[in-house]
Every structure is written in C-alpha cells, then in structure tokens.
Amino acid sequence: MSLPEVVSREEWLAARKELLAREKAATKARDALNADRRRLPMVRIDEDYRFDGPDGTATLLDLFGGRRQLLIYHFMFDPSWDAGCPSCSGFVDQFGDLTHLRARDTSLVVVSRAPLDKIEPFKERMGWTFPWYSSGGGRFNHDFHVTHDESVSPIEYNYRTRAELERAGVGYYVEGSEPFELPGLSVFLRDGDAVFHTYSTYARGLDGLGSTTSLLDLTALGRQEEWEEPKGRASAVGAPAGSDKVRYHDEY
C-alpha cells in the first residue's frame, strides 16, 4: 500500500495552507456554478405520470407532498429483481432524516420500476423511512433516461446518445440486454398545480450528494439563504451553520 509521505509538522502545515487556498477557490467556483444552475430555464411537465405508493396511486404533483420543490432519486430496481441495486442502496443510506429538507419546502422521494410488493419488503429490510414509489410500466423512467429500452425511446444517458457515449469511452453505460436501469436524480419545481422540470444529474454528477445542502444546491430555490444569487428567488428561510435559525430536527 502506498501511504502519504512522512514530514515534519511545519512542512505539513505549509502544504496544508497551500491546499486550503485551492479549496477556497474551488468553493467559490462551486458557489458560482450553483448560481448558474439556479438560473437554468425549466420545462413544464404535461405528461400525466402515475406512481404506485403505500397510499395508492399518486401523480407527480402528489409526490411534492404540498411542498414547493421535489427531488426524485432514480433507484435502480428492475421489476425482475428481488432486491435493489447495492450501489443505489449505499447512496440512499446517506439521506437520513429529511426534516431539514422539508423545512426548506423541499420533498425527497425515491422512484423505481419494481412493483411496490418488492419495494416495500426491501425498504423494511434496509430500515429506510423515505417515501418510495413504483413507476411501474409507465414512461417516467424512460422519459428521464434511467431505464433504457430502444423499443420505447432512443438511448440517451447523461445528455449523450449511445454513439456519443461510445466515442467518449464510456459506452459501458449503455451495454447490456434491454431494458436496463441506470441511476440519476431529477429536480422539479411547483407553481400552484403546474409542475416544472428544472434539473437532472447522472453518473458522476451524483458524487458528493446526500447532505441537505448538497441536495438543495441542485434546486432552483437553492439553500434559500440571503447571500445566494439570483435574488428574489425565495425568502431567506435557510439557516447557515452557526446561525440562530438552525433547529434540531424535532423542533421544526
């Protein structure tokens, strides 16, 4: 195993400060990128998507739970499987308590093609409490490019066609017998009863996600803190670390 070089405390501190300067630059660049993400236009969803949930059939609007924003994690769970994808399982293990997201008018749910009678026992086995819906045989997974079946729609993943993926050396994303599943995360905004798609990310775009702030950074309303751009997008309900607005999750 190759380990880091052993140096004196003074040498370590000099190297750490040099790296810190680069970390701060990366943070500022990330803030600017997040602002540009919030400035993206959005697309109205007119398709009447239907999902199966514990309380029966639900629409995409229902998945918001009355909140303004919705995050959907596209969990790989083929209808023929008896358990969900291990990598997706590791990803959603990070979600934990969703109260802080919900306090910022944002819901998070998980959607898979597997039927509810397979989802529910697997969810119980894993000890998860987040809402999980089945998209069943509908077009939702296909339209958001996380189920690939050329008999339903052209192959596309991470905004690239099959040919583009192969030219980029990542054709493995679209290899295998169809239909096949891939992971992703999509973001929606509600204006009254009108639902809009604002963002989706796939593949390594999922790296580093899972915390409340990282998920809010994907949304059109962001963290809802006063310093964020563009202005006027949402009231400043966010609570930066150390702020007296921060609450325990049982105090909202």
DSSP letter at 219? S
Q: What percent of the chain has pLDDT over 70?
A: 96
pTM: 0.93
pLDDT at 242: 57
Taking residues 68-87, report their average pLDDT.
Answer: 97
Q: Is the alpha carbon torsion for 47, 48, 52, 54 positive or negative?
A: positive
Closest alpha carbon to 211 in 123, 96, 110, 128: 96
pLDDT at 109: 98
Q: Which residues contact 166 (CB under 8 A, 6 or more apart)?
A: 174
The CA distance from 163 to 59, in Å, is 34
pLDDT at 215 over 70: yes
Q: Grade residue 8 by pLDDT with cuts at 50, 70 and 90.
A: very high
pLDDT at 174: 83
Q: Are 199 and 221 contacting, i.e. CB atoms less than 8 angstroms apart? A: no
pLDDT at 3: 96
| Average pLDDT of the chain to the nearest whole number | 93
DSSP letter at 198? E
The CA distance from 71 to 91, in Å, is 14
Q: What is the pLDDT of residues 10-68, one digit of tens each?
A: 999 999 999 999 999 999 999 999 999 999 999 999 999 999 999 999 999 999 999 99
pLDDT at 172 over 90: no
The answer regarding whether domain 42-216 maps to CATH 3.30.70.20 reads: no
